[in-house]
A and B are shown apart, each in its own frame.
Chain A
Amino acid sequence: MKKSIIYTAIGALALSACTKTQFSTPAYSPGSANFTNTVSVGNSLTQGFMDGGLYYNGQKNSYPAIIANQIQSAVKITFNQPMVTGNGSGYIHLVYENNQFSPIQPGDDSTAGVNPCDQDPSWNTWGDTSKRYNNLGIAGIRLTDCVALTPMEKLINNVAVNWQTTPFTGSRPVGNPYGRFINFGSVLANPIQYIDVIRKSKATFFTCWLGNNDVLGYSLNGGVITSLTVPGFGTFALDTITPPTAFAQKYDSILTAFHNMGAKGVCATIPNVSSIPYFTTVPIYVTVNGNPQYLWITTKTGVRQAMPGDLICLPAYSSVLTGVGFYKSNPLPDNLVLDMDEVANVQSSTLAYNSSIKSIAASYGYPVIDMYEFLGTLQKSYTIDGMTLTAQFIQGGAFGLDGVHPNARGYAVIANQFINQINLSFGATIPLADVSSYPGVNFPNF
């Protein structure tokens, strides 16, 4: 009988050894996609612009970089970004004083001595054009700047993208400082277009999220169109809304370029700009003695009080604090208000762009990620791994301190939308990025 007990004990010990619960690592696969030379085209969102600047820690968490990092589980690839050093262009950070948070712009050294987020000394010389990059995102670039429909437009576009500190005697710098990692040639002798760069990219796979700035520039500037006079060329309107027909033609050119090199890829629609924190943080009224007092705003049709549907731009915050907008005689200027007519312009153009993006991509067989819809969800409330992200300024958790661009956590969420689509469309099994491991807003620790 004792023997039986011993056998029982041995059996129990043997079973207790069987405590392996580990899952074997899934065979992550690229599916039918060839990620060898993955190229990402787009604007600030693609470049990894964050907190109003291009800085190392922001850029390394660009959504294309996050996607590429996840692809590594399936297949080893090289993914080069034109990295800046340290603070790069400088970026906005938060300070906490008198129980409130204030975003401090780079260059603003008035608050706490030296601003720790000022521009890096290397920024002025950043941009090695001799290297090939996989992330071709350029902050501020519009789709309309990428492809010219006329020879004249080719020159205008080059002026817009090609950074030149002294283009003409005595003039101020023109062009786009964030595009300095690309050789755009020279305006007159040899203008190189963004689409030319795409054509030479030899991409085997691409992500395309172009077009946001074709409405965003107009929006951020409160619908005010500024102009640039270039001696010998004339005056160019900046921050206009790209006409939807031109948008469609140009989008088609971009996809044709990818199609001609046999690349597969994914496209994304343009999000609705009117629900980003930039437009939702400053209210249209202030409360005086318990009553709402609607702010006075300047519109294209004159000065009036703000109404629901008008949007006040984030930079108006400090103006409102000093009393601007309280009286008809001292209204908020036009460039700090996106009034309802301007909102309607932006909306209709965005919808037209998106319908073009969907149909053009479909004609090439490229899948489209509906970022209009997804960012609409993210802006309301999106919960991932126990974190609830919203578009509330500072506290929302998904957007950075410029109120326009996502922070690293927000970019990780966006990267996962791309990965989901890639998995779905190309039969790939790329693991999703762990959103919880990406940083959110950096809160002051003093």
Chain B
Amino acid sequence: MKKLFLLFSLLPLSSSLFTLTAGGFQIPQQSVKSMAYGGAFAGICGDASALFYNPAGMNNLYGQNFTAGVLGLYPYVSLQTPSYGNIDQTSSVYTPIDFYWVGQFCDKWRIGLGVNNQFGSAASYPDTWEGMYIVQKITLKTFMFQPSVSYQICKHLSVGGGFVYTLGTFGDTKAIPVSSNTTSNGEVTINGTGHAFGYNFGLFSKIWETGNDSGSHQCIQLGVSYRSGLPMTVPNGDVTFSQIPASLATQFPASEKFSTKVNLPGVFTAGVAYKFSCCKNWDFMVTYDFNYTMWSTYDSLHIAFTNPNTPNQGFQYNWKNAMAHRMGAEVTYKKSYSFRLGYYIDGTPTQDGYLSPEIVDANSSGVCFGAGVKFCKHYSVDLAYLRSDFTTTSKTWTSQGFAAAYHRVINIFGIGVNYQF
């Protein structure tokens, strides 16, 4: 046990060896409760979304547990380029959902199923804008289906894991710099569906616990988890070319097929939570998670067209692995009314010279708060709000000859319900 502790305690230290830089297109808010904790959940494992954050933490739950939530993710992004004082992204609302079920069938085993959208990204710009040859509209959506199981090895240690099936859709529209007497540029839209398989693994320990009959109780929980990368292949997507001068129809036919591969990254998480209650009415909790996301798998994107005359496309992104620090706190009154606060520092995987207007990202931080109300023994509702705001200086995507300063505000509203019996 002590050894395990050492391992845990080393991890946050070793993080300082890396520059503080999980951003990208991951959505760390995979349950409304965890969102209010700044995304920290591997150590607390307080509801069925533990299945996602740390499958071993499912052993922290008893009976049948259902959690479902929906987020309204509102991004606002503006750019300033060397040519224009301000350009606004045309905002699009993104509504990731999550659903988890964790069931106890005997003392030591839990099984569960989760469905969520771990990765997603959307950006849309006016049809005619300075970067239209890079992006007009881009969307990536993923649905993860993950049956999982956990087992309590001994009093202090549980282990869990699961299988992750991912269904992803990828869509991209941009202008092509070819014009005629009647058209100022061509346009290409690609849409594809892909699949990937991965796994999820975790360890969870309620390593220290003390309490007495007067209601005073303290405990420390630790969790580590690893979610594998998901190499998603999009084998046979649809391509539509439009507004193409007739003389270039050989290169850009009205429709054809494409293939690509999107490497979704693996994520390593270590978390710790401390809970205490000093009297019957008040419970307190603080928690911290460290994420290390292997974004370096997203180094490039290659689009191969079936028509040999259509030039294939290749883009270097050169992302690097990125870290995030997440912390949350909770006060609960009479076991029914919870108030939550969270904060995170999220490092961007983007590097200097590789910032694309397709995915606007930078080192960022966010504040979160939330509330939970338990109406009865079975039902509770969670609400959460998150806000993140950053402004960058002028950043380039050198290989595409594009430069801009970016200002991004994200507001996320979440509502979730829990049912337990």
Show the binding face of A for B, using Cβ within 8 Å: 1, 4-5, 8, 11-12, 15-16, 18-26, 94, 96, 99, 101, 382-387, 397, 409, 431-434, 436-437, 439-446
Contact = CB atoms under 8 A, between A and B. Distances in A.
Contacts of A12: 385, 413
B301 interface: no
A123 B400 CA distance: 41
A60 to B, nearest CB: 15
A224 to B, nearest CB: 35
B210 interface: no
Given A384-B401, A385-B400, A23 B131 contact: no
B94 to A, nearest CB: 15
A443 B248 contact: yes
A88 B86 CA distance: 37
Contact of B78 (A16, A21, A382, A444): A21
B76 A383 contact: no
Nearest to B87: A23
3 smallest beta-carbon distances between A and B, as pairs: A386-B133, A96-B247, A25-B85
Contacts of B81: 434
A96 B247 CA distance: 6
A21 B131 contact: no
Given A15-B385, A440-B179, A444-B246, A433 B83 contact: yes
Given A384-B401, A387-B177, A445-B181, A19 B411 contact: yes
Given A21-B408, A386-B134, A386-B401, 8 more contacts: A8-B385, A12-B413, A15-B411, A16-B413, A99-B250, A383-B401, A386-B133, A440-B177
B76 to A, nearest CB: 5
Contacts of A4: 339, 371
A382 B178 contact: no
Contacts of B80: 23, 26
Given A15-B411, A16-B411, A436-B130, A22 B88 contact: yes
Interface string B374-411: 00000000010101000000000001111001011101
A382 B76 contact: no
Interface string B274-308: 00000000000000000000000000000000000
Given A15-B387, A23-B407, A440-B178, A5 B83 contact: no
Contacts of B76: 19-21
A61 to B, nearest CB: 13
Contact of A8 (B184, B248, B369, B400): B369
B182 interface: yes
Contacts of B74: 16, 19
B183 interface: yes
Contact of B180 (A25, A385, A434, A443): A443
Nearest to A28: B85
Nearest to A5: B371
Given A15-B411, A21-B77, A386-B134, A8 B246 contact: no
Contact of A382 (B84, B85, B401): B401
A8 B78 contact: no
B245 interface: yes
A101 B400 contact: no
Contacts of A387: 133, 177, 401
A5 B371 CA distance: 8
B182 A445 contact: yes
A101 B337 CA distance: 74
Contacts of B128: 437
Given A1-B337, A434-B84, A8 B371 contact: yes
Contacts of B181: 442, 445
B373 interface: yes
Contacts of B402: 384-386
Contacts of A5: 371, 373, 383
B356 to A, nearest CB: 10
Given A16-B411, A19-B76, A444-B247, A436 B405 contact: no
Contacts of A22: 78, 86, 88, 407
A409 B184 CA distance: 12
B132 interface: yes
B179 A439 contact: yes
Contacts of A409: 177
Interface in B116-138: 128-134
A384 B132 CA distance: 11
Given A386-B400, A444-B245, A431 B82 contact: yes
A284 B246 CA distance: 32
A24 B83 contact: no
Contacts of A26: 80, 85
Which of A19, A24, A382, A385 has its CB near the most chain B CB atoms (within 10 A)?
A: A385
A432 B78 CA distance: 18
B131 A385 contact: yes
Contact of B177 (A15, A20, A101, A397): A397
A386 B131 contact: yes
A409 to B, nearest CB: 8
